[in-house]
Amino acid sequence: MRVSRKLFALLVLFAACLSPSTAADFKVGLVLDRGGKDDKSFNSSAYEGANLAKSKLGIYLKYVEAADDNAFEPSLRAFAQRDFDLIIGIGFAQKEAVKKVASQFPQKHFAIVDSEVNVPNVRSLMFQEHEGAFLVGAIAAMTSKTGKVGFVGGMDIPLIRRFEMGYTAGAKRINPQVEVLANFVGVTSEAWNNPPKGKELALSQYDRGADVIFAAAGASGLGVFDAAEQKQKFAIGVDANQDWTKPGLILTSMLKRVDEAVFSTIEEAKAGKFSGGVKRFGLANNGVGYSFDQYNAKILSETVRQRADELKAEIMNGKIEVPDYYKLNR
Amino acid sequence: MRRLAQSFLAVAFGLALGLSATWIAGENPWEVLKILARGAFGSRENIGMTLFYTTPLIFTGLSVAVAFQAGLFNVGAEGQLNLGALAAAAIGALLPGLGWPMAPLLASLAALAAGTVWGAIPGWLRARRGSHEVIVTIMLNFVAVGLSTYVALYVLKNPESQNPETRPIGLAYMIPRLGVFGDAPVSAALPLALLVAAIVWVFLRRTALGYELRAVGQSEPAARAAGIDATKMRILAMAIAGGLAGLVGVAEVLGNAGKFKVEFSPQYGFIGIAVALLGRNEPIGIVAAALLFGALHQGTRELDFSTEHITSEVSLVFQGLIILAVSAEPVTNWFRSKPRINTDEL
């Protein structure tokens, strides 16, 4: 025991020398969904946005990953009790927890992604996923030679149905005769992380004649990309720009800028301009869109892009109304 | 006493190993231990969260232990508790008009019954058909999760939420919360768990049936020679084990969520195996072991907040190392520098 005590004393000293100084005065707490910060999709995007704020704005950032659903509420509360200025919950699973904790700490600022919480000190960051999906649907139909396009969704929930509905509408806008093959990976959160199933579904859709498949399935989408490689056909990415993952095969990615939403919320809160309520991210403020970079420059032709940008303008000025699953299924 | 000392040594050994791992990760182990203790017991709410995680672990620990006592290995607690929780939530969703106290009583009985049936199946298959209960319970876990997910999504779906969960049950179904723990969802399920642990102890140690059950576990031929119906005892043990795991539904649905949420359990059923192992299959030991694992699960969340390099997943490392230390008894025996062959286990 005596030896270990000395060792501990040494370690305390060691740690004291290493402990970082926390000079930043604006503190942001991030409670990630169960996927965790390395899911290379939704949570990663949120974490990147917050990390950007850390380097650009000099905030103090702390993130936690929830081990189970019952951990959301105490995690949010722990941040509030520790004098964090802004607490952000990532994902609709935290809706009830954010609602409860925000009501208990009316002086604190909260934000939640993908869910509406009607408490004055909460900002709900909502995305117009259907608008972005409409554009990639149109791009898919313009690129398809078979007149058949595919959709592989992750978990079968209204959020992903919203992607599907927008995608179908976009494809039909270009080619009313287009056939959209749609499948979902699963019905539980496991569906976000099942690449083999995503691949199976995609292979089956390619075999049935689809030559472009939109994967809105989190990490399961990586399986769809594998199928695209195997069949040498096109796939479309989601959330983050995934064009680089299989250059020449990922036609484009439907961007959902969770990172932007998180960053701008932190920026405004730090400047003292935080406001509650619903903040929507759509085509108009580049919250959603499609990607174009060096990795898909050769496969996404200029004419296709021009037409997509025309459609984008028509959605923004109200000439096209994209069907919204949330509104149609209330 | 010796077995108690062994468990204690195993925990200390596992913790020491785990803390050295945090040292490798660049943290001060003494600080980590303090943060762990603060996270688990530092405030009323933290104590409450620890007890909240302890409650289901008492049920699953007892579940595994009762099967162990009859010489059976119940790996199916995870499936049994899922169906128990689903049954409680289903009663609540289907009979919204029921009042207190009939409502929680009926829902609790439903949880118990669902778990009992799901436990009795592998018990029956083992006793009558000779199918190994480990294989059957593992397989039935998948069936139970699939079945409960199906019901939650297609039969009793909550239309208000994107989460895979059933419709909320009425307030009349909720069992009282223990208010001293702040916002932590500690409910009357905790005293219920302690009561059930006492009942299990009395059953195993003070009743003829419990004696027969243990006799089958010690030596089946001897039990048969003494006129004990080993077949019946095996089915009974697995049915009781299933029912105990099903009671997790009371803690989760009636005491906390007010609905069945798919994937609500952070592997309570499997941690229950470790709880039973560490608690030496004795109810009092199981309560203590459940508290330890509950404290680890809760305490490690604090590590996420208070350290730079450690996330809550480190709790899995701690759990793993403690389990390793418990099962690797030669190691702990070596520390006692008195090698001996173990004859009194399981």
Binary contact (A69, B261; C-beta < 8 A)? yes
> Residue A217, class by beta-carbon neighbours within 10 Å (0-12 exposed, 13-18 middle, 19+ buried)?
buried
B110 half-sphere exposure, CB direction, 13 A CA radius = 23
Q: Which of B49, B153, B161 sits opposite A187 (nearest CB)?
A: B153
* Residue A110 contacts residue A72 (beta carbons within 8 Å): no
pLDDT band at A329 (very low <50, low <70, confident <90, very high): confident
Binary contact (A74, B185; C-beta < 8 A)? no
- Identical fold at A22-127+259-281 and A129-255+300-328? yes
- The strands making up A60-65's β-sheet, listed across from edge to edge, are A60-65, A27-32, A86-90, A109-113, A122-127, A277-281
pLDDT of A16: 45
| 3-class SS shares of chain A: helix, strand, coil, % to 5 | 50, 20, 30
Q: Give the domains, in start order, of chain B with CATH numbers.
A: 42-327 (1.10.3470)
> Residue A153, class by beta-carbon neighbours within 10 Å (0-12 exposed, 13-18 middle, 19+ buried)?
buried
pLDDT at A187 over 90: no
pLDDT of A193: 83
Binary contact (A187, B266; C-beta < 8 A)? no
Q: Which of B274, B231, B228, B267 is nearest to B248 (CA)?
A: B267
Binary contact (A104, B183; C-beta < 8 A)? yes
Taking the CA of residue B146 and the nearest CA in chain A, the distance in Å comes to 10
pLDDT at B340 over 80: no
pLDDT at A19 over 50: no
Neighbouring-strand partners of residue A38: none
- The whole-angstrom separation of Cα A178 and Cα B228 is 71
**Mean pLDDT, residues A200-208:** 97
Q: Which residues contact A192 (CB under 8 A, 6 or more apart)?
A: A35, A39, A41, A154, A155, A185, A217, A218, A219, A220
pLDDT at B333 over 70: no
Instruction: Identify all chain B residues contacting A11, using CB atoms and an 8 Å cutoff.
Output: 23, 28-30
Chain A residue nearest residue B265, CA to CA: A68
pLDDT of A34: 74
Q: Which of A58-67, B127-136, B263-272 has the lowest mean pLDDT?
A: A58-67
Residue, of B224 and B313, whose pLDDT is higher: B224
pLDDT of B163: 85
Binary contact (A189, B164; C-beta < 8 A)? yes
Taking the CA of residue B194 and the nearest CA in chain A, the distance in Å comes to 22
pLDDT of B318: 79
pLDDT band at B335 (very low <50, low <70, confident <90, very high): low
The per-residue pLDDT for range A111-169, each reduced to its tens digit, is: 999 999 999 999 999 999 999 999 999 999 999 999 999 999 998 888 999 999 999 99
Tokens read off for B198: 């006492």
pLDDT of B27: 86
Chain A residue nearest residue B298, CA to CA: A71
**Mean pLDDT, residues B51-66:** 97
Taking the CA of residue B162 and the nearest CA in chain A, the distance in Å comes to 6
Report phi then psi at A203, rounded to 5. -60, -40
Give the pTM.
Answer: 0.85
On average, the pLDDT of chain B sits at 90
- The whole-angstrom separation of Cα B12 and Cα B266 is 24
Characterize B263-299 residue by residue with b for buried, 16 or more Cβ atoms within 10 angstroms of its Cβ, and e for exposed: bbbbebbbbbbbbbbbbbbbbebbbbbbbbbbbbbbb
Q: What CATH homologous superfamily does A129-255+300-328 map to?
A: Response regulator (3.40.50.2300)
pLDDT at B313 over 80: no
Tokens read off for B327: 């099962």
For residue B340, which amino acid is it?
Answer: R
Q: Is the peptide bond before B101 cis (omega within 30 degrees of 0)?
A: yes
- The whole-angstrom separation of Cα B297 and Cα A306 is 54
A22-127+259-281 is classed CATH 3.40.50.2300? yes
Residue, of A4 and B7, whose pLDDT is higher: B7
Binary contact (B312, A68; C-beta < 8 A)? no
Taking the CA of residue A270 and the nearest CA in chain B, the distance in Å comes to 21
pLDDT of A1: 42
pLDDT at B111 over 70: yes
Domain boundaries, chain A: 22-127+259-281, 129-255+300-328
Give how far Cα A112 sits from Cα of A88, A117, A258, Å. 6, 8, 11
Percent of residues, chain A, with pLDDT higher than 70: 92
pLDDT at B294 over 60: yes
**Mean pLDDT, residues B156-165:** 88
